[in-house]
Amino acid sequence: MSIVAISQSLGSLGDEIGRKLARALSYEFADREIILRAAERFGEGVKALEHATEERPTLWERFTETQRRYLTFIEAIIWEMAARDDVILSGRGGPFILRNVRHALRVKITALAGVRAKRVEGQGLTPEAAVHAVHQSDRERAARIRFLFHTDWDDPLLYDLVLNTDRLDANVAVGLVQSALQDERFQPTQDSLNEVKNLSVVAQAKAALLAHPLTRQLQLSLACENGHVTITGIVERKDLEKAAVEVVGTIPGVIEVRSEIAVVAQHSYRPAV
């Protein structure tokens, strides 16, 4: 029982390795499936969510709350899948979202740009177009990770295992990941399993609150301990507190919702003359 979170560069064989690994371990593999589930559950467009996780952020995104909403929806799906264990998550920021999970093996799969361009060229692109596609993809993914997680996508210290597929084929790479998963450091403990479940509930709750028209603007904090969720914050009306409690109460795995929300009405006043 483990989690593998893969970050890959275009043409690195990352998807092939991830899918082969999933078959070898009988794990679930998820890449675009993460986007599709988020789009279906939260009513967002697939293309918008894909852009939000893979492409260079626009200037407009840097000054709006849209990105926060999209990332929260993606995180909810990633944490939900991680809580089920036995999963391989490819892309979508998985290695960074799950960076503090004890039993998550974070893997970077890459190769020299020229090698990757040759592989992309095999998909029907001209040599020039393949080189351009590889460099553009690298720039956009690096910019997106820097924007979302304030970190360097290429920093090898962010990963537990870095695979260079210049000379490694997919089968050898799969064997190396399988070997790494045997290490005790990547085996779950009851504490680490419980921690992921608690974090998953919090992620689902945050996403549900953002998706609900009455609660999406509220600034609330959430914590979960074995299915018992505590909500703290300040709202202007009692009905907003009630809505928040009801929304969180619908999350699978929630046993009890404890409200520590303060209801503080904003009273109009006339400035002294």
What are the residue ranges spanned by the domains of the chain?
A: 3-186, 212-263
> Which among 77, 78, 71 is positioned nearest to 210, based on CA atoms?
71
Q: Over the range 233-265, which residues count as b (16 or more CB within 10 Å of their CB) and which as e?
A: bebeeeebbebbbebbeebebbeebebebeeee
Q: How many CA atoms lie within 13 A of 143 on its CB side?
A: 16
Give the burial class of 230: count Cβ atoms within 10 A of its Cβ; 0-12 exposed, 13-18 middle, 19 or more buried. middle
Using alpha carbons, select from 51, 137, 120, 133 the residue that is nearest to residue 92: 51
CATH topology of domain 212-263: GMP Synthetase; Chain A, domain 3 (3.30.300)
What pLDDT, on a 0 to 100 scale, did the predictor assign at position 273?
46
Residue bearing the bigger pLDDT, 92 or 60: 92
Percent of the chain with pLDDT over 90: 68
What are the tens digits of pLDDT across the range 150-192?
Answer: 999 999 999 999 999 999 999 999 999 999 999 999 999 999 9
Note the pLDDT of residue 135: 95
- What is the pLDDT, as a whole number, of residue 39? 83
pLDDT value, residue 268: 43
Residue 69's pLDDT is 79
Task: Please report where in the chains the tokens 């018992």 appear, as a residue.
Answer: 228
> So what's the pLDDT on residue 261?
94
Tell me the C-alpha distance between 253 and 250, whole Å.
9
256-263 vs 161-164, strand pairing mode: unpaired
pLDDT at 37: 82
Burial (CB count <10 Å: 0-12, 13-18, 19+), residue 180: middle
pLDDT tens, residue by residue, 39-86? 888 877 777 777 666 656 665 555 566 677 788 888 999 999 999 889
Q: Which residue has the higher pLDDT, 60 or 206?
A: 206
- Beta-carbon contacts of residue 270 (< 8 Å; ≥ 6 apart): none
Does the structure show a pLDDT above 90 at 258?
yes
Report the pLDDT value the prediction gives residue 269, as an integer from 0 to 100: 40
pLDDT of residue 105 exceeding 60: yes
Query: Domain 3-186, CATH 3.30.70.330 — does that match?
Result: no
In this predicted structure, what is the pLDDT of residue 64?
Answer: 61
Are 4 and 87 a contacting pair, CB within 8 Å?
A: yes
Return the pLDDT at 225: 95
Q: Is the pLDDT of residue 226 over 90?
A: yes
As a whole number of angstroms, the distance between CA 12 and CA 115 comes to 8
Residue indicated by tokens 């990547």: 186
Domains 3-186 and 212-263 share a fold: no
Percentage of the chain exceeding pLDDT 70: 91
Residues β-bridged to residue 234 = 262
DSSP state of 64: S
Q: How confident is the model at residue 8 (pLDDT cuts 50, 70, 90)?
A: very high
Q: Which two tokens stand for residue 86?
A: 């036995």
CB 6 within 8 A of CB 109: yes
What's the pLDDT band for 223 if we cut at 50, 70, 90? very high
**Quick one: pLDDT at residue 62?**
57
Average pLDDT over residues 23-52: 82
pLDDT of residue 255: 95
Q: For residue 200, what pLDDT band results from cuts at 50, 70 and 90?
A: very high
Whether 125 contacts 180, CB under 8 Å: no
Q: By the 8 A CB rule, do 198 and 29 touch?
A: no
Strands 220-225 and 228-235: antiparallel
